[in-house]
């Protein structure tokens, strides 16, 4: 009996520490790491998308090796697919954490069981020269993030409603427009750009352009 009580009080202490230490986690921070790679963290759970990839692969962005040392322990790593500009076989081998590469619904459901405030859905989407490419919809406390990845096919992104932040390469925007598909997202985060890729004119208010690794933004819920 005593030991149960002891266990329970330790458990309670941990719960309290968690909610105090992390400000009850009503804030999520998104940090851009390069290409389609970014970290999503609410202070409790750290999820990396399409990182680590092979720095500089196919002429895309490089990142400093020190970024690898900054990777948080016990993180979750989700990849849209295994092309080198999204995924490094060599670096992934060294990771200490859970890896979900091109993860289908079943795999993602296993992950969901372990997550506290995140719920993720995976969608099989087509991509040239890749047999397993998945896009993901992440829900965090009612905020919805859609991570498109490398797909060239806009049907999936066009079918999802009420997205808060959509992570997209510019070509999916073009293909969606061509197909007359509306992307129902409040904010468009443009990613997977070439180094020094420029845009003419002003960036619209509902866009965030991930052109500099280290860029970050936070979202709060009350
Ligand atoms: Zn690819």
Taking only the tens place, the pLDDT of each residue in 50-83 is 999 999 999 999 999 999 999 998 999 999 999 9
pTM: 0.88
Structurally, the chain folds into a number of domains equal to 1
- CATH (domain of 195): 3.60.15.10
Cα 187 to middle of ligand 1, angstroms: 23
Cα 151 to middle of ligand 1, angstroms: 8
Percent of the chain past pLDDT 90, that is, above it, reads 81
Cα 128 to middle of ligand 1, angstroms: 7
pLDDT higher than threshold 50 for residue 4: yes
Alpha helices in 124-164 (DSSP H): 155-159
Percent of the chain past pLDDT 70, that is, above it, reads 89
What's the pLDDT band for 212 if we cut at 50, 70, 90?
very high
Domain with 117 in it:
2-220
What's the pLDDT band for 19 if we cut at 50, 70, 90?
very low
Q: Are 89 and 111 in contact (CB under 8 A)?
A: no
């Amino acid at each position: 009996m005593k030991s149960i009580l002891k266990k329970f009080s330790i458990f309670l202490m941990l719960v309290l520490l968690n909610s105090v230490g992390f400000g009850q986690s009503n804030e999520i921070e998104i940090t851009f790491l390069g290409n389609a790679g970014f970290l999503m963290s609410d202070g409790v759970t750290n999820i990396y998308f399409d990182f680590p990839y092979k720095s500089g692969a196919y002429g895309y962005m490089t990142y400093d090796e020190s970024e690898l040392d900054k990777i948080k322990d016990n993180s979750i790593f989700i990849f849209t697919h295994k092309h080198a500009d999204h995924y490094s076989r060599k670096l992934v081998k060294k990771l200490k954490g859970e890896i979900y590469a091109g993860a289908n619904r079943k795999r993602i459901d296993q992950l969901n069981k372990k997550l506290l405030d995140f719920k993720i859905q995976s969608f099989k989407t087509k991509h040239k020269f890749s047999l397993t490419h998945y896009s993901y919809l992440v829900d965090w406390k009612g905020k919805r993030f859609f991570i498109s990845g490398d797909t060239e096919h806009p049907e999936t992104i066009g079918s999802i409603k009420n997205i808060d932040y959509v992570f997209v390469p510019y070509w999916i925007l073009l293909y969606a427009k061509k197909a007359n598909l509306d992307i129902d997202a409040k904010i468009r985060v443009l990613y997977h750009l070439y180094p020094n890729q420029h845009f003419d004119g002003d960036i619209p208010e509902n866009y965030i352009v991930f052109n500099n690794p280290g860029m970050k933004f936070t979202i709060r819920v009350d």
